[in-house]
Amino acid sequence: MNANLSADLDNEEAIAYFTWDDPMSVREIRDRLRNSSPPERLRLLGKILREARDTDVWRFVTPEEVSRYWKDLLPHLGRRRRFWEWLFGFWRERGLLHD
- Say if 30 falls within a structural domain: yes
- Say if 99 falls within a structural domain: no
Range of the structural domain that residue 43 is part of: 5-93
Q: 34-77: per-residue pLDDT in tens?
A: 999 999 999 999 999 999 999 999 999 999 999 999 999 999 99
Q: What is the pTM of this model?
A: 0.91
DSSP for 34-85, written as a single string: HHS-HHHHHHHHHHHHHHS-HHHHTTT--HHHHHHTHHHHGGG-GGGHHHHH
Domain count, the chain: 1
- Say if 57 falls within a structural domain: yes
- Say if 64 falls within a structural domain: yes
- Say if 87 falls within a structural domain: yes
Q: 6-45: per-residue pLDDT in tens?
A: 999 999 999 999 999 999 999 999 999 999 999 999 999 9
- Say if 98 falls within a structural domain: no
